[in-house]
Amino acid sequence: MNRSYKVFTIGGIQIFIDWTWLLAIAFFTWSLGAYYDATFPSWGLGTAYLIGAVSTILLFVNVLLHELGHSFTGRSLGLPVNSITLFLFGGVSNLTTEPQTPRIEFLVAIAGPLVSLLLAGLFYLLHAAAGGGSSEVSAVLGYLASVNLILALFNLIPAFPLDGGRVFRSIAWGITGSLTRATRLATSVSKLFAALFIAGGLLEALGFGQFISGLWLAFIGWFLYNSATASSQQAVMDQVLRGVDVRDVMDPAPASIAPSTPVQSLLFDHLLDGSQRAVAVQSPDGTLLGLVTLSDLRQLQQEEWSSTPVSRIMTPATELSTVTPVEDLQQAIGLLAGNRYHQLPVVEDGHLVGMLNRDHVMQYLQLRQLQSRQQGPASSLDDRSRISPARRRVG
């Protein structure tokens, strides 16, 4: 699911579009066009499909508003949100950290359906004001009213990753006081609903001859079932990582070079053996000045390598995302994954104190998951063992 493209930014939140979204556009335009053509035969076929396409685009604008409801609520409650992705089944807000309390999880989850419900009311009033007749504008307003109502109700079904799954989990979390138990309960309920979707869809397709819509329903059920499994794995991960800081996993002695080092020696002494993707550029007093990667070399012709200092091609420290050694590892992983970084410099008072590499984080996660499977999650929680990075080099 990595084929998504950034299209624009709203209030600091990046909006991505996944390639599967194009399938949804085609499917909705086609089915809405057929619906309008059957309901308003006086429009003609061309108009019906044109209004179908317009309605589809507006549908996704409303899906985006729903997601922005989650995102802005999350941000106002201290959860950093960096992106929203529109894909086949709608939209998803990518929160970089999990909510820390049941109250926050509840509020963030309920915000989306509330926005959809408000929009449904608003479009219903506009539809009524437009006379409710068979004009194109009134038909689109009526469609937006009902589709927002469906969005609100569908998302409240208590199945992960729908909002209702999170609403359910936050309530169970509040009552039991245990995130693990709440997640287990919510996952079971999610799988039950997913199975109902699949069974209902197959029945509709095979029993009642509604082939396309039945399969679509079954497909949604299959998607929900997989997501429920994934979110229970995510919950195990959350538990494994609780209380682990960046310094427990970072490379405490990353390779670094002086700003005057020629690009040639950066290449031959550090990058060519393939063990490092990036090298930090440091002043003699240890201040982080920048980061230089293999791809920065593309700015230069080969004959310039021996005469150019790395400071000319590095990404300066002011433009780098960095973490501190005491930052939550989970937050740092969110930053790595959310921005597709391979490494993050670890900085304290402007000085480079380590490097957090994606490969080391992956190794660490695999190790901890193995441990927690062998020991049971409870006993491994306070065991903050360190792993030493496989390839440690001092530059």
Residues that bind Zn ion (CB under 5 A): 112, 155, 163
Question: Given the complex with Zn ion, which of 13 and 271 has the nearer CB atom?
Answer: 13
Cβ 17 to Zn ion shortest distance, Å: 17
Cβ 127 to Zn ion shortest distance, Å: 23
Cβ 336 to Zn ion shortest distance, Å: 25
Question: Given the complex with Zn ion, which of 163 and 251 has the nearer CB atom?
Answer: 163
Q: Which residue is nearest to Zn ion (CB)?
A: 112
Q: Is the dihedral of CA 58, 59, 64, 65 positive or negative?
A: positive
Q: Is the dihedral of CA 178, 179, 183, 189 positive or negative?
A: positive
Question: Given the complex with Zn ion, which of 163 and 245 has the nearer CB atom?
Answer: 163
Alpha-carbon gap, residue 84 to 93, rounded angstroms: 4
Cβ 98 to Zn ion shortest distance, Å: 16
Question: Given the complex with Zn ion, which of 163 and 296 has the nearer CB atom?
Answer: 163
Query: Residue 270 has what DSSP assignment?
Result: I
- Token reading at 258: 């002086």
Query: Residue 297 has what DSSP assignment?
Result: G
Cβ 216 to Zn ion shortest distance, Å: 19
Are 330 and 98 a contacting pair, CB within 8 Å?
Answer: yes
Cβ 24 to Zn ion shortest distance, Å: 16
Query: Residue 91 has what DSSP assignment?
Result: E
Cβ 148 to Zn ion shortest distance, Å: 12
Helices of type H across the chain: 20-39, 45-76, 102-129, 136-155, 163-176, 179-202, 211-241, 263-266, 329-339, 358-375, 377-380
Alpha-carbon gap, residue 306 to 267, rounded angstroms: 10
Cβ 200 to Zn ion shortest distance, Å: 22
Cβ 111 to Zn ion shortest distance, Å: 8
Question: Given the complex with Zn ion, which of 76 and 299 has the nearer CB atom?
Answer: 76
Q: How far is CA 146 from each of CA 10, 121, 125, 296, 365, rounded to the nearest angstrom?
A: 26, 9, 12, 51, 44
Are 381 and 239 a contacting pair, CB within 8 Å?
Answer: yes
Question: Given the complex with Zn ion, which of 86 and 336 has the nearer CB atom?
Answer: 86
Question: Given the complex with Zn ion, which of 155 and 276 has the nearer CB atom?
Answer: 155
Which residue's entry shows tokens 């919950």?
235
* Helix, coil or strand: residue 258: coil
* 261-265 contacts, C-beta under 8 A, 24 or more apart: 261/309, 261/310, 262/305, 262/306, 262/307, 262/308, 262/309, 262/310, 263/297, 263/300, 263/304, 263/305, 263/306, 263/308, 263/309, 263/310, 263/313, 264/305, 264/306
Question: Given the complex with Zn ion, which of 79 and 244 has the nearer CB atom?
Answer: 79
Question: Given the complex with Zn ion, which of 112 and 254 has the nearer CB atom?
Answer: 112
